[in-house]
A and B are shown apart, each in its own frame.
Chain A
């Protein structure tokens, strides 16, 4: 009970205390409430922020991956393109080189080569000079030769003249016409006369040639005596026997000459004729062993009611020229390639 009493004694305190506490609580409630709200707000905010941060980081990952993917794809295309362009340029350059070389070669070989033309023309000039000088030499040489012959002829003529007129030479006592005593020395003709012998007296020629085969008249006298025999021929001769043998040796034609060109055909004809003459029966003998007695059936192509046709021997195909579109033979429509035709066929004009 004491406790009770103690309590009762304390009631007022307790009440006051509880009031005080309650008042204090009441007074702090607002503050505490805002504090709690603030704490809560902060917490929630930080939680949301953390979540957002998480989300952002996730989005970043997604975006970075995606962008990386796209970027790599674009890059690949870009690389491909640029490599393509690079290669294209490279090949173009190479093609240009090849074309350049080929064109240069082709033009120089087949169309026009300046240097070879120049060389050719220079060589031609040299050749011309050579030919000119050679011809000049040749003409000169010919001239000299002609002159020499002329001189020789003249000399012979003069000599003959001098021999004919040898009587004009001066003697010790009487000076000749070319040796005038009033001149210091004789004329040139005098020296020529001195250098030659006089012509011998010409023999009296027979008035008519004894035997002239050209215009012989039949009343010509026969020569009284036969002309003298020529000197006896000398020398080691072949024996008369062998000469005789050679003279009368039989004619030995070649095989080609001695055989007839148509010998085979002629022999066949003869054989055929003999066979026909000696044949007993004109019926063609059929051997007994032949089982089918069918007659020979000629081909339809090669026979007609008018006789044999040369099908298979002369012509092989039916020809109806009148049904042809054109009389000329067909030609391919593909035009020829002129350069290929020219290859190794013609050469640059400059080349020799």
Chain B
């Protein structure tokens, strides 16, 4: 008799198990999710979270996590279904497999938007997750760290909440664990915490994260390196002090080898790190230059394409912007050539804009710098970027500024001459201005200017009197005998013919 009774229960339990397992299976395929949602899977899974059988609980949590992972509507549904407090409660109670699954749900919910992450925080998940970080099992730690990272990723308040829950020291401990995936995720979480504000980054630094992160830069695992470099750059980007602390971990010149990594993201993150450090002060930039960082970055800019190249280009610009000495260092490291290549071969506007900006920073210091930039045949390209009809506004302003900066220092006339022919008036002003500064003092240049047709071009420019352009033209004309100026003025042949007509021959 009792056997029959028990059989009913057994059957019920088997069907429940089968149901959750099937739902979890189905939820792992995106095409099924809409059907599942329409079938009301949420309301069915919710009671199963409270099932007496641990397996069913875990599988239900797994299914929920997969659903919530899919889009923010489903995550919203999880929040609205009051499932989170239940999960958080059991996060502290249950075994490690359940913890993993619960942390997965929390992560899946928190990943979509700040509001959802806030609702996860509001139900007290942080403390439970932080306790999970103290667990012995690396898998639990990993999923807890992952969830914390996704929560902290959205904004400074959430990151602050994570920090206030005391997660940082435990995450730093997690970095030191032997498991690669745990290290990776903890580094990523630290990176997400650091990125919002100097204070948060300082908290992470105070927990001693830099030394451990710095130890891992030569790790062979590419994905770990990505996260490590991302974390270091997020720390270094905020202030000079933090950047100096990162530098003091003696990451140079070891990080430069990672610029040769086969993994694109590692390369990009390393370049970002170098950029974030070099942008702060001339001293830090000098340190990088002295470690041979500029040569490495120049090579890197030459080897990579599109977005990966962008941080390298910006790093060169930042270094050159600090002082003329550093700009000269960029020039002797053959940075200008690579930037010119990047400027001409990159199809995207924002990368061209960055290259134009960097070139402007290099050329703006002294005539020597401007010459180095000008002989790389950059000026026509910059002009082309400025004049192109489909160029973005940013690219136009950047290239104009760069042109102006370089032209105001450039006294290398052969490079300026092509600009006389196709520059618009607001650029032409600077070009003619440079000629008017050089020609009065250089007889050879005066001669060359006439033979190359520059003077003729100057006479053809129509400048309103009283403008700076007219003044420059006047200065140039004053360097030459009147006949030559007249000879090259447009309409002079007509004037001569007129004189022939009016001439009365003496018979």
Binding site for B on A (CB under 8 A): 117, 120-121, 124-125, 127-132, 135, 138-139, 142, 146, 214-219, 349-350, 352
Contacts and interface: CB of A to CB of B under 8 A. Distances in A.
B296 A131 contact: yes
Contact of A132 (B97, B299, B323, B332): B299
Contacts of A214: 97
Contact of B262 (A125, A146, A349): A146
Interface of B: 10, 17, 53-55, 58, 97, 253, 256-257, 259-262, 289-292, 294-296, 299, 323-325, 328-329, 332-333
B289 A217 contact: no
11 contacts: A117-B328, A124-B290, A125-B332, A128-B294, A128-B332, A130-B292, A131-B295, A135-B256, A217-B17, A219-B10, A349-B325
Contact of B289 (A124, A139, A216): A124
Given A215-B97, A219-B10, A349 B299 contact: no
B53 A349 contact: no
Nearest to A121: B332
B324 A142 contact: no
Contacts of B332: 121, 124-125, 128
Given A131-B292, A142-B261, 7 more contacts: A121-B329, A121-B332, A127-B290, A128-B292, A128-B333, A135-B296, A217-B55
A128 B291 CA distance: 9
Pairs A-B, 9 closest by C-beta atoms: A131-B292, A128-B295, A349-B325, A139-B260, A127-B292, A138-B257, A131-B295, A128-B333, A121-B332
A90 to B, nearest CB: 39
Contacts of B262: 142, 146
A216 B323 contact: no
Contacts of B292: 127-128, 130-132
A128 B289 CA distance: 9
Interface of B is mostly: helix
Contacts of B97: 214-215
Given A121-B329, A135-B299, A215-B58, A349 B259 contact: no
A142 B262 CA distance: 9
A129 B17 CA distance: 66
B20 to A, nearest CB: 12
A138 B258 CA distance: 10
A96 to B, nearest CB: 29
B323 A217 contact: no
Contacts of A146: 262
Contact of A142 (B10, B55, B260, B328): B260
A121 B328 contact: yes
A128 B54 CA distance: 62
A349 B294 contact: no
A135 B257 contact: yes
A112 B257 CA distance: 33
A129 B259 CA distance: 16
Contacts of B290: 124, 127, 352
Given A128-B333, A131-B292, A131-B295, A216 B257 contact: no
Contacts of B299: 132, 135
A216 B294 CA distance: 58
Contacts of A135: 256-257, 259-260, 296, 299
Contacts of A219: 10
A217 B13 CA distance: 10
A215 B333 contact: no
B325 A215 contact: no
Nearest to B59: A215
A215 B60 CA distance: 13
A351 to B, nearest CB: 10
Contacts of B259: 135
Nearest to A127: B292
Nearest to B328: A121
A132 B329 contact: no
